Amino acid sequence: METGQQERMNIVIVGHVDHGKSTVIGRLLADTGSLPQGKLEAVKLACERNAKPFEYAFLLDALKDEQAQGITIDTARVFFKSDKRHYIIIDAPGHIEFLKNMITGAARAEAALLVIDAQEGIRENSRRHGYLMSMLGIKQLIVLVNKMDLVEYSQAAFDTICSEYAAFLEQIHVHPKYIIPIAAREGENLIHASSRMPWYNGPSVLQAMDAMQKEIPDVSKALRFPVQDIYKFTAENDDRRIVAGTIATGEVRVGDAVTFYPSQKKSRIKSIEGFNVPSQNSAQSGQATGVTLETQIYIRSGEVMAKESDPAPFVSSAFRAHVFWLGKRPLIKEKRYKLKIGTHRVPVYVKTVHRVLDASSLDADSDKQQLDRHDVGDVEFEAVRPLAFDLSGEFEQTGRFVLVDEYDIAGGGIIVAAVQASTTATETFAARRNFAWVRGDISPSHRAIRYRQEPIFVLIVGAPGTGKAAIATALEKDLFERDQVVYYLGVDNITLGLDRDVSGQFEDRDEHIRRIGETAHLMMDAGLIVISTISDVDDGDVKRLMALASPFRTLVAAVGEWPFEWADSAIMMLAEHDTAAVDRIVGALRPFLHS
C-alpha cells in the first residue's frame, strides 16, 4: 500500500470468541473503502448463491483465500486507512506466536482494540486479554462493547460493563483511553456517531483511533548510542580513540556534551568519524558511525552514550520485565543466564517471579515460580553489576533484550520498570556464601595471631603498561622480607588454570573477575595477604571484586589515569611508575600488620 507522507500505526485487536472481533475488522475495511475493488460485492453475491446471510466477518476469510493468488494481504495483518493515517490491524488468533513476536520485537503494536459482547458481558477471556495488554505494556487501549443492538442499545447495560471492566483493568494498572458502545454489524459508532445511542457523547471507533498518539520518530527521541567497540590508532602519529556503534535513537553533533552509562563518565564530542566518507558534523538514528571525544576517558563496549541535555537512561542492577520463554528447560531462580541488551552482555539471575501467563490459554498464575516453554512471565531480574537501560514503551532498542541459557537464545523480554536494588546479585551471593561457609577448628583470629597480620586483598589497577606487575612483585617481596604471609596472585596464572574453559571473549569477563575474587577470598580465608593486578577495570568490576572478597577488606591502588567515578577510603592513587609506590602501600597496610 502506498502511503506517501501519511503515517502508519500498528494496532492489535483481541477479544473472546464470537464477541465480534472479525466483524469489527470487516466493517472497518468496508466503511473506510479499504477493500480491493469489487471485493465487498463479490462476497455478498457468494452469500446469496449459497443462501447464506452476509456477515462482514466473511471479508477476512475472502482476503485469506486471495493470498495464494498473490495479493499482498497478510493473514494476520489487515490494512485500512482513515483521512489521518494508514492502519495495520494485527489480528491475534494464535496467542503464542503473537506474544513471541510482540515481546521479541518482530511485531510492534502501538495501541489495542479489545472487544466485549454487550449481551454475554465480561468473560474470563476478556480478563485474560486485559492481562495480555498489561504484560505487553500497551498503554493506548480502546475497549469496544459490541453487539449493543442485542441489548436494545441500553445505556444501563453499557454502564454496567463499563464500570465492571474498568475496575478490573485498574487492578492490573491498565487505563483505557476510551470505552465505546458499538454495533459492528450495523455500523453503529464505528465511523460516525450513532443516532441510536444519543446518550453516548464520546468519539466513534475511527475517531478514537485517530486520536491515538503516534510514537515519536526515533530521530526525534533522546540520544541513545550503544557502544559497540573502541578503536585505537597509532600509525602515522594518529592517536585517535574512536567510539563506534549504531545510533539507536536521536541525533549527535560535534560539540555535544555527552555522558556514558552506567559508568557516568562525561566528555564532549570532538569529531564524527566514518570509513571512507567526507567529514560530518552530525549523525542520527540508524546510522553506524564513530565519534572521538575531547577528553580521553576509559569506557568499554556495552555502555550507552546519551546527551547531557537529554533524559538519562536508568542505571541499576535490578529491573522488572515481561519475558516470553522459549527454552527447553524452564526459567528458574538462582540459575545464571546471559542477558543481551543493545551491545551489553551481562549475567543475570531471576530474583522474583511475580506472575506467569500461559500463552496458549492466557491463564494467569501468581503462585508459579518458574517459566515453562511458551509462558509469559512478569519477572524481576538482578544483574551481577549495574547496566544502562530504558523502558521498552519509551525506547524500544534499549528496552528489549534476549536471554541466553548456556549457548541457546531461550527467551526475549521487554523492560517495564527499574528497581532500586539495595544489593547486587554478587553481594547477595557473597553474603549467602559467607553465612554458609564451613570452617575448621582454626578460627580467623587464631590465624591472625599466628601470622601476625589481618588478611587483606591488595588490588592494583590501571591501564596496560603502567607498571602494575612490577609494583605488585616488589610489594610481595617487601612484605615477605618483613616476615608477612603474602602471595602475588598473577592474573595470567588464573587465565592459564581456572580460566581454561573461559573463551576470553568480552562477555566472559564477568566470569573471569568472579574467579579472581573467589580465589582471593579462599586465600584470605587461609590468613594470607593477597596481591593481584588487573587492567582496564571500571567501577562495577572493582565493586564486584570487593564484594567477592568480603568479609575481608580490599585496598585498591590505582596506577596512572584515575579510573573511577566514586570515592572510597580503600582507594589510593599512585603516580605512573612511582618508585615510592611500594612504601605508600605498605604504609596503608600497617593497621593490618601486627608486630
Catalytic residue positions, numbered: 535
**Which amino acid is it at 232?**
K
What separation in angstroms does the CA of 75 have from each of 58, 184, 490, 551?
13, 21, 61, 61
The helices-and-strands tally (H runs, E runs) of the chain is 14, 26
Cα four-point dihedral sign 50, 56, 57, 60? positive
- The x, y and z cell numbers of residue 561, run together, are 589515569
Peptide bond into 226 cis (omega under 30): no
For residue 586, the SS3 value is helix
CA atoms of 498 and 214, how far apart (whole Å): 53
Instruction: Name the packing angle between helices 468-481 and 581-589 (round to 10°).
Output: 50
Please tell me the total number of residues recorded for the chain in this structure.
595
Cell of 206: 475511527
DSSP labels for 471-524? HHHHHHHHHHHTT--EEEE-HHHHHHTGGGGS---GGGHHHHHHHHHHHHHHHH
Q: How far is residue 61's CA from residue 54's CA, in Å, rounded to a whole number?
A: 13
Q: How far apart are CA 200 and CA 196, in angstroms?
A: 9
Nearest to 457 by CA among 370, 544, 374, 536: 544
Is the four-CA dihedral 418, 423, 425, 426 of positive or negative sign? positive
| Residue among 254, 243, 255 nearest 305 (CA) | 243
3-class SS of residue 465? coil
Burial class (CB within 10 angstroms; exposed 0-12, middle 13-18, buried 19+) of 501: exposed
Sign of the torsion angle spanned by Cα atoms 433, 439, 445, 450: negative
